[in-house]
Amino acid sequence: MNRRKIYEGKAKILYEGPEPGTIIQYFKDDATAFNAEKKGTINGKGVINNRISEHVFTRLSHIGIPTHFVRRLNMREQLVKQVEIVPIEVIVRNVAAGSLTKRLGVEEGTTLPHTLLEYCYKDDSLGDPLIAEEHIACFNYASQDEMQDISAMALRINDFMCGMFSAIGIRLIDFKLEFGRLFDGDFSRIILADEISPDGCRLWDMETNEKLDKDRFRRDLGGEEEAYQEVARRLGLLPEENEADVLDMEHHRAKKGK
Ligand code: TMP
C-alpha cells in the first residue's frame, strides 16, 4: 500500500492517516526490553495489543477520558487522532515491581500505601531517565496546567483499570501512559495517546501471582504468547477456545499475500 510512514518505533509503526489530523498505528510483534538491549518477537502480540488497547481506550472514553483512539481498522491497525506527544512517560504504580524495586530496594510485590506517579523523560538515547516535576517545569516539557490534567487523568485511569482487571482476576501492579496535545487552532488540550496493553502494564494473576505481561519476555520466563492471549481472553476479546485459530488464520492469509 502506498502510504507515508511517519515513524517506526520499537513496537509500532505510524503511517499518515486517510484524513488530515489522523494517523494509522500499526502494531508489530517485535518486543524489546531494557532500552532495546534485548530484542525478540512475541507471535501474535500486535494483533492482541491492537484489540486490548482498543478495548481499554473505548472503555476509558466512556468514563470521560479524552483519547486519541478513533477506530480499529483491521487486525493490526487502528486509526487515531494526530497529536504532539508530550515527551514524558507517566508511570503509575500500585505495587512495587521493576525499576522501583531496584532503585529503592523495596521488595517486589509490596503494596504501596498509595498510588505512586513517576515521570520519565522520553529520550531513548538517554534511556528514558526518571525526572521530577521540577525538571518538567524547568525544561518546559509540559506546562503546569498540562501536568494537572495529566496527573488527574492518570489517577482516574488507574482507578478504572484496577477495577476492570480485578473483575477478571488480575492485579494491576503498574503501567505506563503517554499523553499528547490535540490542537484546535492555537489552543491545545491533553488527551491520552499511545497504547495500553500488556507491553506497558504489569498484570499478575490474583490467585497465583503469575505474571501475564511483558515481564515474561524481559525475564526469559517463557509463555509470553499465552500470557497475552490469556489477558485478551479474560477481557472477552478472544473466543474461549480456538483463540489460536484466529492467529493461525492471520498467518495463513499473510502467507497468501493478502
Ligand atoms: P519499570 O518498573 O521498568 O520502570 O516499568 C514500570 C511500568 O512501565 C511497567 O509496567 C512497564 C512500563 N514501561 C513501559 O511501558 N515502557 C518503558 O520503556 C518502561 C521502562 C516501562
Of ligand 1's listed atoms, the one at least distance from the Cα of 213 is 10
What confidence tens digit (pLDDT) does each residue in 92-112 have? 999 999 999 999 999 999 999
Of ligand 1's listed atoms, the one at least distance from the Cα of 202 is 10
- Are 115 and 151 in contact by the 8 Å Cβ rule? The answer is no
pLDDT, residue 60, reads: 98
- Are 23 and 15 in contact by the 8 Å Cβ rule? The answer is yes
Report residue 258's pLDDT band, with 50, 70 and 90 as the boundaries: very low
CA of 257 to the centre of ligand 1 (A): 35
Tell me how far apart the alpha carbons of residues 192 and 77 are, in angstroms, rounded to a whole number. 18
pLDDT, residue 248, reads: 63
CA of 95 to the centre of ligand 1 (A): 13
pLDDT, residue 113, reads: 98
CB distance 100 to ligand 1 below 6 Å: yes
CB distance 174 to ligand 1 below 6 Å: yes
C-alpha cell at 218: 524481559
> In the predicted model, is pLDDT for residue 250 greater than 80?
no
In the chain, the amino acid numbered 124 is D
> In the predicted model, is pLDDT for residue 226 greater than 80?
yes
pLDDT, residue 239, reads: 78
Q: Is 56 exposed, middle or buried (0-12, 13-18, 19+ CB in 10 A)?
A: buried
Residue 30 bridge partners (DSSP)? 41
- In this structure, the dihedral spanned by the alpha carbons of residues 189, 195, 198 and 202, taken in order and rounded to 10 degrees, is -20
- Are 174 and 202 in contact by the 8 Å Cβ rule? The answer is yes
What confidence tens digit (pLDDT) does each residue in 145-191 have? 999 999 999 999 999 999 999 999 999 999 999 999 999 999 999 99
CB distance 217 to ligand 1 below 6 Å: no
- Are 118 and 98 in contact by the 8 Å Cβ rule? The answer is no
Does the pTM of the predicted model rise above 0.85? yes
Average pLDDT, the chain: 95
CB distance 151 to ligand 1 below 6 Å: no
Report residue 2's pLDDT band, with 50, 70 and 90 as the boundaries: confident
* 3-state class (DSSP) for residue 33: strand
CB distance 230 to ligand 1 below 6 Å: no
Distant-in-sequence, close-in-space partners of 206: CB < 8 Å, separation ≥ 6 = 166, 169, 170, 171
Q: How far is CA 152 from CA 115, 142, 149, in A?
A: 12, 14, 5
What confidence tens digit (pLDDT) does each residue in 34-50 have? 999 999 999 999 999 99
Of ligand 1's listed atoms, the one at least distance from the Cα of 98 is 2
CA of 206 to the centre of ligand 1 (A): 20
What confidence tens digit (pLDDT) does each residue in 193-210 have? 999 999 999 999 999 999
What confidence tens digit (pLDDT) does each residue in 122-132 have? 999 999 999 99
CA of 90 to the centre of ligand 1 (A): 9
CB distance 202 to ligand 1 below 6 Å: yes
